[in-house]
Amino acid sequence: MVDIDDKVIRGYLVSLVGEEGLEMIEKMPEGEVTDEEIAAKTGVLLNTVRRTLFILYENKFAIVVRERDSNSGWLTYLWRLDFSDIEHQLMREKKKLLRNLKSRLEFEENNVFYTCPQGCARLLFDEATETEFLCPLCGEDLVFYDNSYIIDILKKRVDALSSS
């Protein structure tokens, strides 16, 4: 079983299913159970349980088995959690984040920005020339925006993710 107390895994699961979903995961009974049983045993609302289960299923963290009742013909869905692939999922998320950070870094390094002193907008140089260096929202004169601070932060994040 996965260590749900691990801060990385916990943060990832919260980003997927929220705090209520994490609470459901922590309290979920072992084995194959229905969504109604999960709601009853965890104290989490049935709609939240269902939403969480479907998100986990989409991310390959839940397995569902359908059984048909021979008398009534009704389908019963039995759910079981399976976090055996979570390390692989985390690595994929890390690579995606790294790609996005590198893309943003490249954008910040290759563009010149102007901003409104009132904080209304930040525009690319070409956009600023189109508005004659006036804020499109308030009409204030735009000023050069030094984005070296953003570039430094992005570089540090890229380096930290690349080295870990």
Q: Which of 84, 111, 134 is the last residue of a domain?
A: 84
Residue-level pLDDT at 73: 84
Which pLDDT score is estimated for 41?
Answer: 93
- State the 10-residue block means of pLDDT for the chain, 164 residues long: 80 93 92 93 93 95 90 90 92 94 97 96 96 94 96 96 86
The pLDDT score that the predictor gives to residue 163 is 87
Its domain, for residue 78, covers 7-84
Q: What is the pLDDT of residue 1?
A: 55
Burial of 78 per CB tally in 10 Å (0-12, 13-18, 19+): middle
Into how many domains does the chain fold?
2
Q: Are residues 73 and 19 in the same domain?
A: yes
Task: Please report whether residue 89 resides in a domain.
Answer: no
The answer to the question of residue 63 being in a domain is yes
* Shared-domain flag, residues 79 and 119: no
State the pLDDT at residue 37. 94
What DSSP line would sit under 78-137, residue for residue? EEEE--TTHHHHHHHHHHHHHHHHHHHHHHHHT--EEE-TTSS-EEEHHHHHHTTTB-TT
- Regarding whether 112 and 55 lie in a shared domain, the answer is no
What is d(CA 27, CA 7) in angstroms, rounded to the nearest whole number?
18
- pLDDT for res 5: 81
